Amino acid sequence: MIYSLLVLSSPVSGSCTQTAAAFAQCVIARGHSIHRVFFLDSGTYTGATAAVFPQDEADRIRPWIELAEQHAVELILCISSALKRGMLDQSEAHRHERQGATVHPAFIISGLGQLVDACAHSDRLITFGG
C-alpha cells in the first residue's frame, strides 16, 4: 500500500509530528511505502534549520531528515504556509532577496499541487494535527 502524509501541527506543539514520523517508519517497516509528506500551516516549521531542542527532549526534526535520506521520501513544505512563516529554501531566499535559507535541504518548498498529486498517487492520505 502507498501512503502519503499531511502534517498540520508545529513540531513544538505536542507530539503530533513525532507520531507522524513514527507512523511513517512503521509503514515502511511493514513493507509499504510513503510517497510524500506534505507539511501545511504550522507543520511547515518542521523544516526549520534553526530549531534546537533541549537536551531532555527528542529532536523532532531529525526523524524526518532520516526518513528522507534513508527512504527517499519527499518532504514538501507548502509554499504559502512556509513563506508566511519565514521558511525559505535557497531558491526562495534568492527570489525574495533574503540572506539565506531557513529550511533544511531535506525539505522542498512547493505548492498545493504536490498535495493533490500525493492523493492521486497514494492509496491513503493520513492527516496528523489540526
Active site residues per annotation:
78
Burial class (CB in 10 A: 0-12, 13-18, 19+), 48: buried
d(CA 127, CA 130): 8
Asked whether 33 and 3 are in contact (CB, 8 A), the reply is yes
Q: Please give the DSSP secondary-structure letter assigned to residue 111.
A: -
DSSP state string for 16-85: HHHHHHHHHHHHHHTT-EEEEEEE-GGGGGGGBSS----TTS--SSHHHHHHHHHH--EEEEEHHHHHHT
